[in-house]
Structure 1
Amino acid sequence: MTDLQGPALTLDALRRFLPMHLRIRDDGTVLSVGPTLAKLMPNLEEGIAERLVNARPGHGICPLAAIREAVDGQGRLMLRIVNSRDIFLRGHGVRDCEGAMLLNLGFGISLHRAIRAAELTDDDFAPSDLAMELMFLREANRGVLHVLSRFNDQLAEARQEAVLQAQTDALTGLRNRRGLDIELAQALRLNGHRHEDVATPLALIHLDLDHFKQVDDLLGHLAGDELLFRVAAVLKQQVRKADTAARVGGDEFVLLMRGMTSRSALRDLSKRIIRAIRLLTPPELVGYTVSASMGIVIWLPGQADCPEDLLARADKALYQAKASGRSQAVIL
């Protein structure tokens, strides 16, 4: 008759073959603990009742009952280490020839936490165990995710920079017409074609240089560009941080002054700007003085102006300033 009894393993062989094993009697007596498991729980041989709990929901917390049920029912076992609530042990078990329960356990998804907690290395796992390979894949995946995260951040920064460039005048560094349209719509708090109650009052200043054509014609385009750049510097200096200065084409500029509705303050501002621009007149420009004409409109919340209407009103005020002799501001 064929002998069906399997080969017997010495305790040393068992520890080498199954470094994560636990051999236990039905009364809870621990007969053997694998060296890797012992690293994580050095006193496990004294008993499991205070060191392990059942982690399967609906089965109580008694680890011994859970072990017996899994072994005799040939099911899976899930335990949790009491003093390490985020480290789990999963596996299955059989009864050996002496009737003891032999469990082969692993860390499952808590592998990385167990490796850190017990400072485990590749030597602590059986050669057939893919634990370290899985750790490598996990770290590689984290590395890839980190690179992707950095790439996404760089992409977002590049997109933001591209959007900013699309709204910026290349010569002066001020907002261009598109940038002004966006800022003005936000300032008016447009919701479709209706103003919201949270809008704040503002003043819109349309500025056009006087005698800029003579600079361009007599001194050349480079001199004209230099003048525009220096005018932009004046406007940047005169407006507040919350305001917007834009070059909307040629020698035309628009200032969006948030919260400024005082006519006297606007007159003072326009005088300062005109005075500063007059000082920019190139000395080679004989017979002409560069200056600025300005049209100003004030908008209050509740008024029915849309951005286009507001700009048209400022343009109308500008032409009144031009018709009245230039180098002045008209407020509507």
Structure 2
Amino acid sequence: MIPALTLLGLLRPLHVCVGMTGHIGQVGVSVAKLGAGCLTGTRFLETFEILRPAQPSDMGGLRALAGQVLKLRLRAEPGIILRGLVVDDQAGGVIVDMSFGIAVVDAVQHFGLTARDFAPSDLAVELLFLQEAKSSAMAASFSLNSRLNGARLAAETEAMTDGLTGLHNRRALESAMARLGQSDTEYAVLNLDLDRFKQVNDTMGHAVGDAVLLRVATAMRAQTRQDDLLVRAGGDEFVIVCPGLDDRTRLNDLSASLIQAVSAPMQIDGQDVAVGASIGIAVSQSEARVDPETLIARADVALYAAKRSGRGQHVFWSPAMGQSLSELELPEATTQA
């Protein structure tokens, strides 16, 4: 027959046996993990603080609580609240069988407890399993959400990107222009078109043409600011949107640098390749604000004015040019500014 105290230790790992003098005679194996050192031989009421239903000051008061459920805590660990049932041991002492109640998750984390530190039939074990399952599920959900968000971001980025050059595409241009149209930010639109590109494509092949477009994209990145939006609008047509830039002198310098960089001789697959560039520029004006679509149309009109003026130059839009290609006239005053 297993001795009673041994059996108690096996079945109730969170128990404390208190003798008639109020000293602790035996503790369960899990009590020893609660960070209060060796409890055997210490006075129970000096080691534990009973919060309710009463606060006894001696062994008589503690025995009077027999059959009642206590709320108590270790004085060395006041942050963890315990529940305890007081049982009269019929020998002048008591047995206090404890649990952590709803604080079990905090206690497990704080003291490094495992399922073995609880009675096999304790509901705390099931709660721990549920908590672990919940944590695993949340981790899996977070991982899944991260993957989904990453995939969505990648898809959105791909949808806004030109597959050949890595620049933005027309969809990105429309989105950016819509935002600028709703803001008070001044900005400029530069419409850049390559000169003699069709001849390169026709005589040297599309592979060389694609390589030229990649070189042009690289040159555009090198000449523009980080905040500028670089767009391949289609074929050999590019658009640059410059938020916060409406100074004509700076736009003159930028356009001249772009034309020079794009027109620099290049060698592709052992072949000398030369293209040029023409640029039309339209600038937003706070005193005469127009919608983004109109500004892009004006930049397009200015581009064709540049091409009609001999190519390889940049032209600012002016009211004398009209609002569309069908209205375009080419007074001498509208050429390179």
User: TM-score normalised by the shorter chain: which range applies?
Assistant: 0.7 to 0.9
Q: Are the structure 2 counterparts of residues 92 and 212 from structure 1 closer, same or farther at C-alpha, using a change threshold of 3 Å?
A: same
Number of corresponding residues: 310
Name the SS for the 1:46 alignment partner.
Answer: coil
Structure 1 residue 294 and structure 2 residue 288: aligned? no
Within the candidate set 9, 19, 22, 1:15 is matched to 9
* Distance of 2:28 and 2:63 partners within structure 1: 19
Within the candidate set 157, 161, 164, 1:168 is matched to 161
Q: What are the Cα deviations for residues 187-222 of structure 1, in whole angstroms up to 9, with x where unaligned? A: x262xxxx3xxx433221011122222223333322
Structure 1 residue 276 and structure 2 residue 269: aligned? no
Structure 1 residue 222 and structure 2 residue 207: aligned? yes
Q: Are the structure 2 counterparts of residues 106 and 321 from structure 1 closer, same or farther at C-alpha, using a change threshold of 3 Å?
A: same
Q: How high is the TM-score relative to the length of structure 2?
A: 0.76
What residue number does 1:108 align with?
A: 101
Is the deviation greater in 311-320 or in 126-135? 126-135
Is the deviation greater in 88-97 or in 219-228? 88-97
One-letter code aligned to 1:149: F
1:64 CA displacement: 6.8
What residue number does 2:220 align with?
A: 235
Structure 1 residue 34 and structure 2 residue 28: aligned? yes
Q: What are the Cα deviations for residues 285-327 of structure 1, in whole angstroms up to 9, with x where unaligned? A: xxx9632221112224565222212212211221221222222
One-letter code aligned to 1:165: E
Within the candidate set 230, 252, 255, 2:237 is matched to 252
Q: Tell me, yes or no, if the aligned pair for 1:52 and 1:63 is still in contact at 8 Å.
A: no
What residue number does 2:80 align with?
A: 87
One-letter code aligned to 2:152: R
* Distance of 1:133 and 1:84 partners within structure 2: 25
Name the SS for the 1:90 alignment partner.
Answer: strand
Q: Are the structure 2 counterparts of residues 183 and 28 from structure 1 closer, same or farther at C-alpha, using a change threshold of 3 Å?
A: farther
One-letter code aligned to 1:103: V
Q: Tell me, yes or no, if the aligned pair for 1:71 and 1:94 is still in contact at 8 Å.
A: yes
What residue number does 1:3 align with?
A: none
- Where does the alignment leave 5 or more consecutive residues of structure 2 unmatched? 318-337
Name the SS for the 1:49 alignment partner.
Answer: helix
CA RMSD of aligned residues (A): 3.6
Q: Tell me, yes or no, if the aligned pair for 1:246 and 1:253 is still in contact at 8 Å.
A: yes
Is the deviation greater in 271-280 or in 91-100? 91-100
- Where does the alignment leave 5 or more consecutive residues of structure 1 unmatched? 1-7
Q: Are the structure 2 counterparts of residues 293 and 124 from structure 1 closer, same or farther at C-alpha, using a change threshold of 3 Å?
A: closer
Superposition pairs of residues 145-160 of structure 1, within 5 angstroms: 145-160=138-153
Q: Tell me, yes or no, if the aligned pair for 2:26 and 2:40 is still in contact at 8 Å.
A: no
1:168 CA displacement: 0.3
Aligned identity (percent) is 39
Q: What are the Cα deviations for residues 241-260 of structure 1, in whole angstroms up to 9, with x where unaligned? A: 11111011121110112332
Superposition pairs of residues 142-221 of structure 1, within 5 angstroms: 142-186=135-179, 188=180, 190=182, 195=183, 199-221=184-206
1:167 CA displacement: 0.3
Name the SS for the 1:35 alignment partner.
Answer: coil
Q: What are the Cα deviations for residues 40-99 of structure 1, in whole angstroms up to 9, with x where unaligned? A: 24336523434333467xx67x37799778745x5x433232322342322434444457
1:157 CA displacement: 1.8
Q: What are the Cα deviations for residues 156-183 of structure 1, in whole angstroms up to 9, with x where unaligned? A: 2221111111100001110001112223
One-letter code aligned to 2:300: D
Q: Are the structure 2 counterparts of residues 283 and 89 from structure 1 closer, same or farther at C-alpha, using a change threshold of 3 Å?
A: closer
* Distance of 1:63 and 1:181 partners within structure 2: 77
Q: How high is the TM-score relative to the length of structure 1?
A: 0.77
